[in-house]
Amino acid sequence: MRRRLLHQAAVAACALGLVAVCTPASTALNSPSAQAGSAAASAQSGTHSKGGGHHDRDRLKRVGYFTQWGVYGRDFQVQDLDKSGAAASLTHINYAFGNVSPEGKCFLNPVPGESDPWADYQRPLDAENSVDGVADTDTQALAGNFNQLRELKAKHPGLKVMISLGGWSWSTHFSDAVLTPASRKALVSSCVDLYLKGNLPKDGARGGAGAAAGVFDGIDIDWEWPGSSGDADTKYRPEDKQNFTALVAEFRAQIDALGKQKRKHYELSAYVPTAPAKIDAGFEVRKIMKNFDFVNLQGYDFHVSGEKNTAQQSALFAKDDFSGHGTVQDWLKRGAPARKLVLGMPLYGQGWTGVTGGGDGLGQPAAAPAPAKWANGYADYKELKALADSGKYKLYRNARDGHAWLFDGTTLWTYDDPKVLRTKAAYVKARGLGGAMFWSLDADTSDAEGVTAVDRALGR
């Protein structure tokens, strides 16, 4: 597990869900934007009804990120996706994350801060925490999250699981790994072998050839960011832009070749940024979109709690500022088909305390990120729902721009509640987009209020 302390300078990382992994103890948070890296930070730095069975091909996508580290501090297990009803509302689960080694290969070895095979496929679960209600044994080759995902798919036919590679913290070696045709081929081959073919490292009874075969239905590339800065130790270079295009083509070729053998279509997706400067630095949009089944657009962290003034973090519309609509438009005008654009939606909020200036609190100076359970400045939707229900905060809403916030006179939280999420779902349908994505599933309520609201609003 990646054990990084959260700090204001890295607010767009772990605290925002941007990091790839947090400690099991603090289990702060993460998000592809918090995976993605905040748009604000990016700009400033240059930078699923229960029972399943209805995941048909033409249905708008509902993509949710499941965090590897969430099984620790948050105690959010794969089984919770079934119990909450989320699994029945989703079409795709993105498993966050897989890592790339300094040698340019996908790997799953017990390297502190770099890989967690214990959570992925070694950790036994008892009957009470298993999707199928049967305890894992010491002799089975596959346990942990991977086995639970396999059981979840069996219970919800048509649900797809993607392995997400990279994230904020684990994009470190992408740039080096894709420098040459040979290195790209080796990288992709290692990822296909490990995740799609399921050839896991052997550790006692666990792992072995084909141990995880059938768990993953595709690959999601979360390189943050080709051609521009990401996490402090993440390398980037100008030629990343063309090399990313070549990497995508190599993934498409190899997974299609495997799919031909298996008589199966393996999907290919990516998590992509809001900031136009980052789009232009790292993405040949028209070329890459030919090989992607879809891409998940950063739709949050437009502003983050490390900033000096409070601001919206996920508005659908905003004049002279980042927004969901603006992100969609920037990708469309660069040649992306609307049907392949999946709009990211946050199941968490950004918060500030020591807010001065009065009024509704928005756009006012603040002293620091607001205190919260997992990381200052970042709170799960379920935490914010409890604040809203407590009566101690006033709920404000900008109906025109599509965002909401809570303010008690001192502390402000900006987030998406079900009403905002339904507005965004209506936008997705009206604009002919590919669907909705959520970061992250462990932040939703026990009855998957956020995911369910979008699922019902998207309809069939």
Residues noted as catalytic: 224
- Rounded Cα distance, 172 and 177, in Å: 10
Burial of 422 (0-12, 13-18, 19+ CB in 10 A): middle
Phi, psi of 130, deg, nearest 5: -95, 145
- Rounded Cα distance, 258 and 262, in Å: 6
Q: Which helix (H) or strand (E) holds 43?
A: helix 39-44
Phi, psi of 154, deg, nearest 5: -65, -35
Count the helix, strand and coil residues of the chain and give each as a percent rounded to the nearest 5.
30, 20, 50
Positive or negative: CA dihedral 19, 405, 61, 38: negative
Phi, psi of 68, deg, nearest 5: -55, -45
Residues whose CB falls within 8 Å of the CB of residue 67, separated by 6 or more in sequence, listed in order: 30, 76, 96, 440, 441, 442
- Rounded Cα distance, 447 and 451, in Å: 9
Burial of 58 (0-12, 13-18, 19+ CB in 10 A): exposed
Residues whose CB falls within 8 Å of the CB of residue 452, separated by 6 or more in sequence, listed in order: 85, 86, 89
Q: What is the 3-state secondary structure (H, E, C) of 266-315?
A: CEEEEEECCCHHHHHHHCCHHHHHCCCCEEEECCCCCCCCCCCECCCCCC
**What's the first-to-final CA gap in the chain, in angstroms?**
38
| Amino acid sitting at position 76 | F
**For residue 365, what are the β-bridge partners?**
309
